Structure 1
């Protein structure tokens, strides 16, 4: 009898940086964390490398192109909410094109904010990931109780 292996969703999150500012987007009519701020993000489609997924999401969500050499993986999070997930966090400071809201059916605001002045309604695991990044903490867990 073969034991079925545990699988979980994997996502990429993009920290677009402009000096000491980060681009946030406010979720809208998605059914998940609507009204709260996140960053451009999405699931890996399968058969897709992490940087390739971040490049795809950047184009789909904010209309910009990013060269793979301009992307840097800065963190990984093992997260539990309604299910268990693995999240990769990447930064970019250079891109081609103008940032736009390319998914107005899922996002009702794009906003640059100083890394020290995040709004109260940033999704908690995103807030933690930004803090981890700022503190050079490459790995983190979120939503777990360790006894």
Structure 2
């Protein structure tokens, strides 16, 4: 396979245009660093003439030998995944760089599972600060790439406790900063309905799991975030709080559905008024 592309009488690195006036170099074949730097300099010169903006280099782990060369030519790290490193270079220094930074947030979910006996599904973790203080808490976890919030919280509850659940609604969310390697965090608290009762805890991360009476759950020593969690649970028991449920909508980016979380109860009442207004 050719490691370079032809552009007139000279060779440049193979690249594709992105949607923002830049190019993406996606190297897959082994390449000597001296050949690479020659092709890179020629390519950058050509792309400057074409008034390109940002140049991306996607380097798989097999081509880690090219990282130092790219950095010396002005490229910087943008982000990394287990199988590649992405570098970027703004090639028009007389203008401000508009390349967005790497992902600024991670997303976590918590599942408030309440059964017909007014018991809350709780766990104790095997490690971390909550383990050190012996805190009973609801199942929580990280949303995976490409995973919907409602699916993530159901998965986490199943993984940690073995309990099957269905998503009811989003109750609240928290925005915090300097959470994980300096990144911000969005935490979504969700109400789940249990579909099973027998607990089979996850041995790797969970020390214990059980159904706890709501009164006992509410009587725990708590911090302010847990205080609101309890108040929301109580409000749901009293049917005085309406959360947000997912409504499928068409996506801007792909031919697939995404989800808008909204207060369906009040929206449906408003929609009826809107239809009357339109008529």
TM-score, scaled to structure 2: 0.42
- 1:110 partnered with 2:209: yes
Q: Residue 65 and residue 117 in structure 1: after superposition, are their counterparts in 2 closer, same or farther (change >3 A)?
A: closer
Instruction: Report how many residues are paired.
Output: 135
Q: Residue 96 and residue 116 in structure 1: after superposition, are their counterparts in 2 closer, same or farther (change >3 A)?
A: closer
Residue-by-residue CA offset, 1:22-66 (whole Å, 9 max, x unaligned): 11111112x242122211111101111001101211221111333
| Residue 80 of structure 1: how far off its partner (Å) | 4.6
Between structure 1 and structure 2, the one with the greater Rg is 2
| Residue 105 of structure 1: how far off its partner (Å) | 2.8
Distance between the aligned counterparts of 2:192 and 2:126, measured in 1?
Answer: 24
Distance between the aligned counterparts of 1:82 and 1:48, measured in 2?
Answer: 21
- 1:43 partnered with 2:142: yes
Structure 2: stretches of 5+ with no match in the other structure: 1-96, 236-240, 245-279
- Choose which of 123, 132, 140 in structure 2 pairs with 1:25: 123
Distance between the aligned counterparts of 1:122 and 1:111, measured in 2?
Answer: 19
Q: Alpha carbon RMSD of aligned pairs, Å?
A: 2.8
Distance between the aligned counterparts of 1:130 and 1:80, measured in 2?
Answer: 23
| Residue 73 of structure 1: how far off its partner (Å) | 1.7
Distance between the aligned counterparts of 1:138 and 1:94, measured in 2?
Answer: 18
Corresponding residue for residue 73 of structure 1: 170
TM-score, scaled to structure 1: 0.73
- Choose which of 8, 14, 21 in structure 1 pairs with 2:111: 14
- 1:129 partnered with 2:229: yes
| Residue 6 of structure 1: how far off its partner (Å) | 6.3
Runs of 4+ aligned structure 1 residues displaced above 6 Å come to none
CA contact (8 A) 1:76 1:138 kept: no
Q: Residue 77 and residue 129 in structure 1: after superposition, are their counterparts in 2 closer, same or farther (change >3 A)?
A: farther
Corresponding residue for residue 98 of structure 1: 198
Structure 1: stretches of 5+ with no match in the other structure: 140-147
Distance between the aligned counterparts of 2:162 and 2:155, measured in 1?
Answer: 10
